[in-house]
Structure 1
Amino acid sequence: MSRDLMLVERHRKNEEIVTNGLQTFYEVGMALAEIRDSKSYKLVDGFDTFEAYCIERWDMPKPNAHRVICCAKAMDNLVPIGTVLPTNEGQARELTKLKTPEEQQSAWKRVLELADTGKKVTAKLVKSVVDEFTAPEPPEQDPPGPSKEMLKDLAPQGLEREALELILKEAKRGCSKKCHPDVNPNGAELMAEVNRLLDEIKKYYGMNFIQQ
């Protein structure tokens, strides 16, 4: 038998499935997928595109055909993990929102776990599980800053505090001279940054000794 004759035979068989099994979305979806992928609609029925074939032959817009195919593919992806499969297109349609077969399998396993607890498997239940899988991860939170007790422990004491006060005061005094408008045209902006950094140091050590 030539390849063309085999294709014609397969095409007729697939069309019989679509005709007699519109209620069985899995068989319909897989049949339409083969018709689309083999392009048998060109050889057998003379259509230029799969879209034209779906509309003229089945009164089915291409998006609807694509949806049924995706649902059938999702069902097919679940076969390796067991014999309990979605019972209708609505359940399978929710799984198509997941990008990979592995994600679809994991979500369906979760649905079956919930079913074991007494929950009825419905499209709504499948949707709730899929939503969990597709929910964006919460943004990472910055670690909390040091507590007041920690800052108190960090604050220098005695001679160390006195030395740090002297260093920072002298540093500010020196910066004030170098940031004078007569010396540096950008002195005002530079001094503002100096003061900001000094404020950060004060907050870190819990010290209030630098005079503004």
Structure 2
Amino acid sequence: MSDLKKLEATIRKGQTAFFAAAKALLEIERRGLWKPNFTSIVEYAAARFGLGGCDVSRYRNAAIVLENLDGIEKPPTNEAQCRELAKLRHQEPQLKVWSAVVGSGEKITAKLIADTAAKLLGGDDGEPKPSEPVSPIEDRTAIHEVATALNFLQAAQERVNTLGEEERSSLLEQLDIAEQHIGELRSSLSAELVSA
């Protein structure tokens, strides 16, 4: 076997290992196996595997995308493909876009997935809809979701000094969106408390 073939085999094993690790981490999170020794899945993953909040999100999103596409003939083969599909949030658009990408016969790249999503799901101007994280796992509580979000925000705060100008601008836009959602959640909770 040539050196190139050996190295390619190592890369393929690494991709397979990433997907297996992603599924395992999601299972640990869903079943709450990280409790009671840690306050969050992010804290657990940092202590046990040296993963940061962004890493946990990548693993989680990849595992959810793989679940959503389970049973299809040609699943995603790398994390970049899953990352792009995760932006679609739900199973139906993920299946629609992935089927179109696979059916195109082109080399499957994250850019092809993004372009196909923009074409199939974009607004009237052909631009894709704003990216959002994968929807929360349904069996988790709202309190756990907010606690997890706080952990991600703390991790982002620790890394803010390493960001370039463009990344800071993008982060500010995402924070504006988060503040809007927080305001809506606060209003909803307040209205329910008043009516109770």
TM superposition score normalised by structure 2: 0.52
Give the counterpart of 2:43 among 41, 46, 52.
52
Distance apart, 1:101 and its partner CA: 0.2
Alignment identity in percent? 29
2:83 counterpart residue number = 93
2:25 counterpart residue number = 32
TM superposition score normalised by structure 1: 0.48
Q: Does 1:127 align with 2:114?
A: yes
Distance apart, 1:108 and its partner CA: 0.5
Spell out the pairing of 1:5-84 with structure 2 (5 A cutoff): 24-43=17-36, 46-80=37-71, 82-84=72-74
Write out per-residue CA displacement over residues 91-136 of structure 1, whole angstroms, 9 at most, x where no aligned residue.
1110011121011000001001111xxx211222112112224421
- Spell out structure 1 runs of 4+ moving beyond 6 A: none
Distance apart, 1:22 and its partner CA: 7.5
Work out whether residues 29 and 68 of structure 1, in 8 Å CA contact, stay in contact via their aligned partners in 2. yes
Unpaired runs of at least 5, structure 2: 1-12, 126-196
Spell out the pairing of 1:199-210 with structure 2 (5 A cutoff): none
Work out whether residues 74 and 96 of structure 1, in 8 Å CA contact, stay in contact via their aligned partners in 2. yes
Unpaired runs of at least 5, structure 1: 1-19, 139-212
RMSD after superposition: 2.1
Relative contact order (C-alpha < 8 Å, sep 6+): which is higher?
Answer: 2
Work out whether residues 36 and 50 of structure 1, in 8 Å CA contact, stay in contact via their aligned partners in 2. yes
SS in structure 1 at match of 2:34 = helix
Distance apart, 1:23 and its partner CA: 5.6
Work out whether residues 26 and 72 of structure 1, in 8 Å CA contact, stay in contact via their aligned partners in 2. yes
**Closer, same or farther in 2 for the Cα pair 1:73/1:114, shift >3 Å?**
same
Work out whether residues 94 and 130 of structure 1, in 8 Å CA contact, stay in contact via their aligned partners in 2. no
Q: How many residues align?
A: 113
In 2, Cα distance between equivalents of 1:122 and 1:28: 22
Larger radius of gyration: 1
In 1, Cα distance between equivalents of 2:74 and 2:15: 21
